[in-house]
């Protein structure tokens, strides 16, 4: 079994600036003095986990728990402040709607652009183009600038590209939530096929039913800490208890 993702004591910190300079002179002045307005926010607090090929990992938690930050570290968007991260294999990230697209280019042109960004040759992308278009169901909009696309059209094209380039690891951050029921069923079927092929999937979502349906294992994060790691039903029960405690 291949270890695809390894996180060891990963910490991610951000500077939070409470004040905003109103002029260039004020901004320059603040560079040379300590400001109490600058704070440090720890989005992840010593996260450790390993993910293997064939696993479908769900990452759940309340807003601000560090889910998306963790996914962006795995994708290589962020470098952790502390700790170790190792990723083995090709990665296709669906971590932000419209990311990696040029809004003035057409759907067809963005297939080439995204494929190149994901490491494919132009020839390899062109060989996959018709399959991508068939799955995305863009119809007459395929040769229109994607700035004219709806959120659902963006998502269909992005998911089609990411899954057709045949990555070892697929990262998904909530983007499936914008699709209609029929297309989500197509996505589920493709994700099932991915699992059968031994691919690794990491899904960040608030959709508990999607976690039950798609995931073989779940992480529960809260305030940057890992609270639970285990089978979907067990971890989802802890998540629901956590949410009910906050509401109460």
User: At residue 109, does pLDDT exceed 80?
Assistant: yes
Average pLDDT of span 110-132 = 91
Max mean pLDDT among 23-37, 56-70, 185-199 falls in 56-70
Cα gap 87→51, rounded to integer Å: 10
- Per-residue pLDDT of 176-202, as tens digits, reads 766 677 888 888 898 888 888 999 999
Cα gap 109→143, rounded to integer Å: 8
- pLDDT of the residue at 22: 62
Residue count of the chain, please give it.
248
Max mean pLDDT among 14-18, 163-167, 181-185, 222-226 falls in 222-226
Average pLDDT in the chain: 88
- pLDDT of the residue at 29: 64
**φ and ψ of 236, to 5 deg:** -65, -35
Q: Which of 17, 5, 4, 84 is nearest to 44 (CA)?
A: 84
Q: Count how many Cα atoms sit within 13 Å of the Cα of residue 149 in the half-sphere of its side chain.
A: 33
Q: Which of 49, 58, 91, 74 is nearest to 199 (CA)?
A: 91
Let me know: does 113 contact 105? Beta carbons within 8 Å.
Answer: yes
- pLDDT of the residue at 182: 83
- pLDDT of the residue at 98: 67
User: At residue 91, does pLDDT exceed 70?
Assistant: yes
Let me know: does 159 contact 176? Beta carbons within 8 Å.
Answer: yes
User: At residue 245, does pLDDT exceed 90?
Assistant: no
- pLDDT of the residue at 48: 97
Q: Which residue has the higher pLDDT, 72 or 100?
A: 72
Let me know: does 203 contact 215? Beta carbons within 8 Å.
Answer: yes
User: At residue 132, does pLDDT exceed 60?
Assistant: yes
User: At residue 34, does pLDDT exceed 60?
Assistant: no
Cα gap 154→175, rounded to integer Å: 9
3-state SS class at 40: strand
User: At residue 16, does pLDDT exceed 80?
Assistant: no
In whole angstroms, how large is the CA radius of gyration of the chain? 20
User: At residue 8, does pLDDT exceed 80?
Assistant: yes
- pLDDT of the residue at 37: 54
Cα gap 84→165, rounded to integer Å: 28
Q: Token pair for residue 56?
A: 């479908």
Residue 31 burial (C-beta neighbours within 10 Å; 0-12, 13-18, 19+) = exposed
DSSP 99-168: TT--TTSBHHHHHHHHHHHTT--HHHHHHHHHHHHHHHT-GGGGGSBGGG--HHHHHHHHHHHHHHT--S
Q: Which domains does the chain have, with CATH numbers?
A: 3-247 (3.40.50.300)
Average pLDDT of span 151-179 = 85
């Amino acid at each position: 079994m291949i270890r695809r993702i390894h996180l060891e004591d990963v910490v991610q910190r951000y500077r939070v600036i409470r004040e905003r300079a109103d002029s260039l002179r004020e901004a320059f002045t603040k560079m040379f003095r300590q400001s109490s307005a600058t704070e440090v926010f720890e989005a992840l607090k010593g996260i450790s986990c390993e993910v293997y090929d064939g696993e479908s990992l769900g990452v759940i938690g309340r807003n601000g728990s560090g889910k998306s930050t963790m996914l962006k570290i795995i994708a290589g968007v962020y470098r952790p402040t502390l700790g170790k991260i190792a990723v083995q294999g090709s990665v296709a990230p669906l971590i932000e709607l419209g990311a990696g697209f040029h809004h003035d280019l057409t759907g067809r042109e963005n297939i080439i652009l995204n494929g190149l960004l994901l490491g494919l040759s132009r020839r390899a992308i062109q060989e996959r183009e018709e399959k991508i278009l068939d799955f995305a169901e863009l119809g007459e909009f395929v040769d229109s600038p994607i700035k004219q696309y709806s959120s659902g059209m963006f998502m269909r094209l992005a998911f089609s590209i990411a899954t057709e380039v045949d990555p070892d690891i697929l990262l998904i951050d909530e983007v499936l939530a914008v699709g209609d029921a029929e297309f989500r069923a197509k996505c589920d079927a493709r994700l099932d096929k991915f699992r059968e092929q031994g691919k690794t999937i990491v899904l960040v979502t608030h959709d508990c039913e999607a976690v039950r349906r798609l995931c073989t294992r779940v992480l529960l994060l809260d305030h940057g800490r890992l609270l639970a790691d285990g089978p979907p039903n067990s971890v989802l029960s802890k998540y629901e208890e956590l949410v009910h405690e906050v509401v109460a």
